[in-house]
Structure 1
Amino acid sequence: MRRSRDAALRRARVAALIASAVTTAAVAVSGCSGGGPDGGGAAGSSGNFVARAPGVHRWTGTPCAPLTGEPLARGFDIGSATDSADPGVREDIGEGGDRPRYRQTGCLAGLTGPDGAPWRLYTSAAVYEESAPAHRAYRTRHDLDRAHGRGPERVHRTAYAKPVHDQGRPGRALLLWNGDLLLTVTAYGPYGSKARDVREGLQGLVENTARLMEDALRDGDARSPVPSVP
């Protein structure tokens, strides 16, 4: 009985630390991407996720760099980080025989949580040559996830999240479309943790990381294209 009570107290303490860390991080990181008339939260989200108007983004060979300059959440420290950046141009399977082109870049990072346990974070960004194919790819993923009952939980007009799992790790993935950018951020809690205990930490990590990555990949010298889709 005493061992069970001690374990329950530890879980409650960790959950409280994570909730406090995420609240602080949401305030600290919310200024990374400017707001716009399309911004807004939804039930189940932090309420602070605001994406900028569609813009032009650039490929980078160092996608992990933006994650080390700002704290993703207070109490979460980045350990190892590995860039996964392919400079080669890929072709998507488009409609009517079209084969839109894009370049892929991503980051794999190990995090230490507030309780000292290991967390994992993945980012994957596809930068298309045009905005319409990126939006079409987003809609395809959205519709597939909805058809298979994996969400989506809307966090912005063009961003949604869903629960994921990986060999005993509860996780959360966020998919964002913005102009010519299709961005996926996935975070996993420690092995053996319960989804309800790490939900707030996962939510804060994926939303804050998405803000940082979108801001870092945006080409500040390029003009934002006129949105071609609603």
Structure 2
Amino acid sequence: MRRSRGAELRRAGVASLRKARVAALIASAAVAVSGCSGGGQDGAGGGDELVARAPGVHSWTSSPCALLAAAAPAKGFVLGTATDSADPDAREDIGENGARPRFRQTGCLADVTGPDGEFWKLGTTAAVYEEAGPARRAYLVKENLDRAHGRGPERVHEAAYGKPDDDQGRPGRTLLLWNGDLLLSVTAYGPYGSKEHEVRDDLRRIVQNTARLMEDGLRDRDAPSPVPS
């Protein structure tokens, strides 16, 4: 009887352990999916951390400001008047070894109202290249230039960095991101008269959330992932 009772307890313990392991696996999978999709994060699908996404294929749009209207720039902030600056004509990059890769550019300039009613400024520029390789090289060139001039970079992840910015004493922040055939720049400025230490955290949230919105909105989900070159 005692042996039977002991066997039952051991079986119950094993079953409980299996259930715990299954629950842990399910929880881990949910966290992974949330991280990949941007779910469960602050504002426009992002908190304080900008998570790298797998390289994708992106499409040019003539209405980039519409992508920013999908969510608030950050908690407590409201997007105001916005102006598209989309150029449908393909441009040529300097390239390497005589190559002149082509890209099309689109962007948005917008006013942002803060929680206290003060006006901030937000601007985005997205260059969609015909191939992923030139976009990656353009990102590295900009990163090296910023490093050489002492303007950063402050690493966000392996394909994005931030740097402080300034507009006639108005504190700002710029984020540069590469993903597949996309080179994306986002810049935000605090209110006139504000101090850098007062707006630093909000600027970081605004540029990172805006970068998520733009990259996600321009991504072509039906296209296969680009092949690295």
Please indicate the TM-score interval, normalised by the length of the shorter structure: 0.7 to 0.9
1:30 paired with 2:31, answer no
1:211 paired with 2:219, answer no
In 2, the alpha carbon distance for the partners of 1:218 and 1:108 equals 20
Q: How many pairs does the alignment contain?
A: 190
SS in structure 2 opposite 1:192? coil
| CA deviations over 1:16-36 (Å, ceiling 9, x no partner) | xxxxxxxxx9434337xxxxx
Aligned sequence identity (%) = 67
Contact 2:43 2:209 in 1 (8 A): no
| CA deviations over 1:169-212 (Å, ceiling 9, x no partner) | 10000000001000000000001100000001100000000001
Contact 1:119 1:190 in 2 (8 A): yes
Contact 2:44 2:210 in 1 (8 A): no
Alignment of 1:189-228 (within 5 A): 189-228=190-229
In 1, the alpha carbon distance for the partners of 2:164 and 2:98 equals 33
Aligned to 1:150: 151
Aligned to 1:85: 86
In 2, the alpha carbon distance for the partners of 1:72 and 1:183 equals 16
Contact 1:26 1:204 in 2 (8 A): no
Of structures 1 and 2, the larger Rg is shown by 2
1:115 to partner: Cα distance: 1.1
SS in structure 2 opposite 1:27? coil
1:109 paired with 2:110, answer yes
SS in structure 1 opposite 2:201? helix
Alignment of 1:46-85 (within 5 A): 46=48, 48-85=49-86
Alignment of 1:164-183 (within 5 A): 164-183=165-184
Aligned to 1:188: 189
Where does the alignment leave 5 or more consecutive residues of structure 2 unmatched? Answer: 1-39
Higher mean C-alpha displacement, 66-75 vs 201-210: 66-75
In 2, the alpha carbon distance for the partners of 1:80 and 1:102 equals 27
Taking structure 1 as the reference length, what is the TM-score of the superposition?
A: 0.80
Where does the alignment leave 5 or more consecutive residues of structure 1 unmatched? Answer: 1-24, 32-44
In 2, the alpha carbon distance for the partners of 1:205 and 1:59 equals 22
Contact 2:93 2:100 in 1 (8 A): yes
In 1, the alpha carbon distance for the partners of 2:81 and 2:93 equals 31
In 2, the alpha carbon distance for the partners of 1:93 and 1:30 equals 34
Which residue type is aligned with residue 84 of structure 1?
S
1:162 to partner: Cα distance: 0.0
